[in-house]
A and B are shown apart, each in its own frame.
Chain A
Amino acid sequence: MAIAEIESSYEVAGGDFTNAGRASTAIKDTLKRLGVPPAVVRRVAIASYEAEMNLVMYAKRGTVTLAVNPGAVTLRIEDEGPGIGDLELAMQEGYSTATPEMREMGFGAGMGLPNIRKNADEFRIESDVGRGTRLFIRVNQAV
């Protein structure tokens, strides 16, 4: 399969629950159009959507950047926000600092970050308290 190297960025606004998920559905459309295998598209879309929801729920603003190469699809999610003080704790299933409003959206149960890691072949997270959080996600195209 021939897939051109492409990169595109999506701005995401914190607190905008109406549009939360638009970037991820756009990313999914792009990957489908490029002929990326459906199982890979699904893993990227799920990881992207969880990350996008985290950004909307917790950060002021941020970007989701998609890059597609012949071997892999990568996502970089960078936000300006409160950051995460204890990354190890945040990665535990069920740990959450979500508000009732976030839970009413069907999110905020402490499943997001573990689910992103589950869908990624490579996952990195860095955070500075008071400044923001950066995620890097790679999903390999080869089965």
Chain B
Amino acid sequence: MMTTAAEARQVSLADIRKVLEADLLCGSDLSVKVRQAEAADLMSDVLALSEPGMILLTGLVSNQVIRTAVVADLCGVVFVRGKKPGEEILRLAGEAGIPVMSTPLTMFEASGRLRDAFLNR
């Protein structure tokens, strides 16, 4: 699991979508400001180490990703490597108000670009 620097600049979900060349699959308000990101496939790590308002990059596609985001007060989820969640996952996210994106980038590339975005904008 990787977490970006705590003192990084805020970027919006719209900025993140652009930087990650991501498709928006769920959610409409992309003006939400994000201060931190984390990259993890292990939801227990997310529950143990995340801060409220973080955005999650993950290669894991399951209902548990959305429930983890809800429980840990995350601001959104980005699935990497072009993974597309099924209808059930998107329905859960919609009900919970969790924005969901899918980026064609790898976890490594997406993490690097986000880190740059947080530090250099």
Residues of A near any B CB (own CB < 8 A): 17-18, 20-22, 24-25, 28, 38, 42, 45-46, 48-50, 53, 104-109, 111-112, 115, 118
For the residues of A in contact with B, the DSSP-based class is: helix
Q: Which B residue's beta carbon lies closest to that of A46?
A: B47
What are the 3 A-B residue pairs with the smallest beta carbon separation, nearest first? Answer: A21-B67, A106-B43, A111-B44
Contact B62 A105, beta carbon cutoff 8 Å: yes
Q: What is the count of residue pairs linking A and B with beta-carbon distances less than 8 angstroms?
A: 75
When the two chains form the complex, which single residue of B44, B64, B73 contacts A20, counting CB atoms closer than 8 Å? B64
Dominant SS among interface residues on chain B: helix
Interface size on B, residues (CB 8 A): 22
Once bound together, how far apart are the Cα atoms of A38 and B41, in whole Å? 25
Interface set of B (CB-CB < 8 Å, partner A): 41-48, 52, 60, 62-65, 67-68, 70-73, 88, 96
Contact across chains for A28 and B64 when beta carbons are under 8 A apart: no
